[in-house]
Amino acid sequence: MIRWSPLVRADMDGLPLEETADVPFRSTNAGVMHACGHDVHMAIALEVAQALSSRQEHLPGMVRFAFQPAEERAGGAKPMIQAGILEGVDRVIGLHVWSELAVGKISIRPDVVMASADMFTLTISGKSGHGAQPHLTVDAVTIAAEVVSALQTLVSRETAPSSPVVLTIGSVHGGTAGNIVAGEVVLEGTLRTFDRALRDRSLQRIDELAEGIARSMRGRAEFRLDSETIPVVNDPGVATLVSKAAAGVLGDGAVVQLDPLTVGEDFAYFLEARPGCFFLLGGAPTGPRVVHHTPDFRIDERCLLIGYRVMSAAVLALLAS
């Protein structure tokens, strides 16, 4: 079997946003734009692939490039892995441009880089009826209010303060009119944590707590996990190797360690299957602060060359190790 080492992964999907940034490469597709820098990831990976191809006969091994769709929906990595993209691969590497990290800086951690990211739905069911006769109904709005409030006790009273958990209910929909008791309320939320065991327990407790409260108030609660991503965890050995390669290109002062981020990334599944490293590439533009997943997202294009140089050096270091 050919020894492929490493695999370089670049995601390529956009987001359903109308681009407002005044740039010459503004999206030509209405309602769709690159608001998270995946075009940067693709450009860097393609340049690295082209450069390595020009010297292929001098390389001590093969390099596989994976151009992944559907990262934003957290559904692209698993099918690629199941289809055999990692066969013959012993290590993996990827990057993410970060608009809040200065150009010329690289963040590499030897452990957790990003949190798990789970999206869930809770459907609260009661019994609808006239607002003038609430005793003949089971008010789903009242039940939902209790559930939303109680869920925060999973963070404040069931989780150690040293183990960060973010639990957000971001959408509440229910009812049809002000004088009708709602028979159903749908809650949508997200759970983020850096520990996989804590993640699993918290998801179970969301289900248990919602169902327990609903039953105590004569209603029902149904929990559904809509999408899931485990934490992004680097291999210490590979992270150290990549860090040294980056320092060799940019200097020791350019390599930093940001705190773990509570955003999610399904490169986590590549790292679950193989040792590897996922690092952040500084791309903060000049001027006002720019945030990922917004219509005015942009980066400082100088990061493209830096990302190419660091990724190339890291791949060569992995091939030589």
Residues identified as active-site: 13, 71
Contact between 224 and 123 (Cβ < 8 Å)? yes
Would you state the structure tokens that stand for residue 231, as one six-digit string? 């934490």
Q: Are strands 92-98 and 276-282 parallel, antiparallel or unpaired?
A: parallel
DSSP class per residue in 168-232: EEEEEEE-S-TTEE-SEEEEEEEEEES-HHHHHHHHHHHHHHHHHHHHHTT-EEEEEEEE----E
What stretches of the chain show up as alpha helix (H) in DSSP?
A: 38-53, 77-82, 140-151, 153-156, 196-216, 236-250, 268-273, 302-320
In angstroms, rounded to a whole number, what is the distance separating the alpha carbons of residues 27 and 34? 8
Cα 8 vs. chain centroid, distance in angstroms? 18
How much of the chain is in helix, strand and coil states, percent to nearest 5?
35, 25, 40
Strand partners, 112: 233
Would you state the structure tokens that stand for residue 215, as one six-digit string? 């039953």
What stretches of 217-301 show up as alpha helix (H) in DSSP?
A: 236-250, 268-273
